[in-house]
Structure 1
Amino acid sequence: MKTLRSLVRHEARLFASLALWLTRRTHGADGGRAFGYARGQGATTAGLVVVCVVETFGMAVLLREWPTAHRVVLALDIYTVVFVLGLHAATVVRPHVLTPDALRVRYGVHVDLRIPLTALSAVRRETRITHRHADGELDLAVSSQTSVTLELSAPVAHVPLFGLPREVSVVRLHADDAKAFVGALTRARTEPSPDPDPPG
């Protein structure tokens, strides 16, 4: 039952992301600075959509003598195209968000991880195209690539779509403008806290 609820929630968020994408809005970026990460996968998504559309026409020709099967397969093909577009839309409308006290690391509707700035011990640009699963590490590759590495002094809990929560102390992610992302994050970490209001 829990898995079914997770799937339903996942689908709803995908379709909501598609609506936000079509209206050129973002999700959860109010009050912070947004950093996109989806630009690198645009061509891949477009190619996949084209393949799905071609497959739809191909199946329509093959099943023209079986109208019931044709309608079923057509519905599945249309759903697949919408699903792929929803996945891409989710990565566009749900950017990484930097606020005065935390970094919100995201990857579509699958990952939404809040990292307090005080928990960051190191931030660096680091391009990686290979990633090996390791305990305590979270890799959020876009087109098989990450461009920024975050090291944490205190682990944070990551709750995956499926499976049990786990603690991570290293996060690798991608940012379209890694230089600006690292620069903004470095400044946010080093800026002094505002002085408290003087006593009245």
Structure 2
Amino acid sequence: MTDLASQRPPATGIRPLQRIASLGRAAWRAELGIWRSLYRWLFRRPRVPRGASGFSYHSPVLTILVIFIVLSAVEIPIIDLIVHRWPWVRIPLLALGIWGVTWMVGLLLSFLTRPHAVGPDGIRARYGADVDVDLPWETVASVEKSRDVTEKAPKVRDEPHGRTLALRMQNETNVLVTLEKPVRTRLGDTEAEIDAVRLWVDDLDGFMTAVRTHIP
């Protein structure tokens, strides 16, 4: 007789619960990253390896972030004035508004305190507090100027030079680092094996000059 229990489909609730748990972990990591960025900025501790040079990448989003920060800050007293007579509404909205401004400032500071780095040990490619890819020189095949503008593309995709991680700013990158051998890096809850990295650098010429001091 056929075991009917073995033919039952897996519980449909497991996948949504896993998705919710993954989103919760991502939100927690983002929150920790924001507060760590505030700490690093306050105590002037940018995350740049010893002997390395840091290179910013936030200029494409700087204006947008500043506008959001200013509008969020202006919104707090306006809303407070509107709901001033209802403390049970005013206090939660005031706390939420202050948290929102702090979060936006922390997001900007995550870019400022975690720049790309080029040093004796290799390249560190960053994207705020979310991504930190270590690329030792022995794994780097080439570094070249390569402007790429791509909208709605996955963070990791197949390109002619292999699996490529793209750290885009406003959908753009201007540097391509190809690797001698694949490198594993953590992206959120998972690890990805990549053959190349695309990234954006504000000072492209300075970045390439720093690279040439280590790669003839």
TM interval, shorter chain, is 0.7 to 0.9
- Structure 2-normalised TM-score? 0.77
- Contact 1:104-1:115 within 8 A present in 2 as well: yes
Q: Offset of 1:16 from its aligned partner?
A: 2.4
Secondary structure of 1:159 counterpart: strand
Cα RMSD after superposing both structures: 2.2
Q: Which amino acid aligns with 1:13?
A: G
Match of 1:62? 82
Pick the aligned partner of 2:144 from 124, 129, 144.
124
The structure with the larger Rg is: 2
> How far 1:121 moved relative to its partner?
1.9
Q: How many correspondences in the alignment?
A: 189
Distance 1:43 1:2 in 2: 31
* Deviation of the 1:187 alpha carbon: 3.3
Percent pairwise identity: 29
Q: Amino acid of the residue matched to residue 176 of structure 1? A: D
In structure 2, what is the Cα distance between the partners aligned to 1:105 and 1:143? 17
Relative to the length of structure 1, the TM-score reads 0.83
- Residue 167 of structure 1 aligns with an amino acid whose one-letter code is E
Partner residue of 1:155? 182
Secondary structure of the residue that 1:97 maps to in structure 2?
A: strand
Preserved contact between residue 45 and residue 88 of structure 1 (Cα < 8 Å): yes
Gaps of 5+ in 2: 1-20
Look up the equivalent residue of 1:142 and give its one-letter code.
M
Q: What corresponds to 1:195 in structure 2? A: none
User: In structure 2, what is the equivalent of residue 28 of structure 1?
Assistant: 48
Does the CA-based 8 Å contact 2:58-2:111 persist in structure 1? yes
Residue 143 of structure 1 deviates from its aligned partner by 3.0
Please say if 1:89 is aligned against 2:109.
Answer: yes
Q: Relative to total residues, which structure has the larger strand share, 1 or 2?
A: 2
Matched-pair contact (CA < 8 Å) for 2:49–2:119: no
Q: Which residue of 200, 204, 208 corresponds with 1:178? A: 204
Amino acid at match of 1:87: L
Flag structure 1 segments of 5+ consecutive residues without an equivalent. 191-200
* 1:104 alignment partner in structure 2: 124
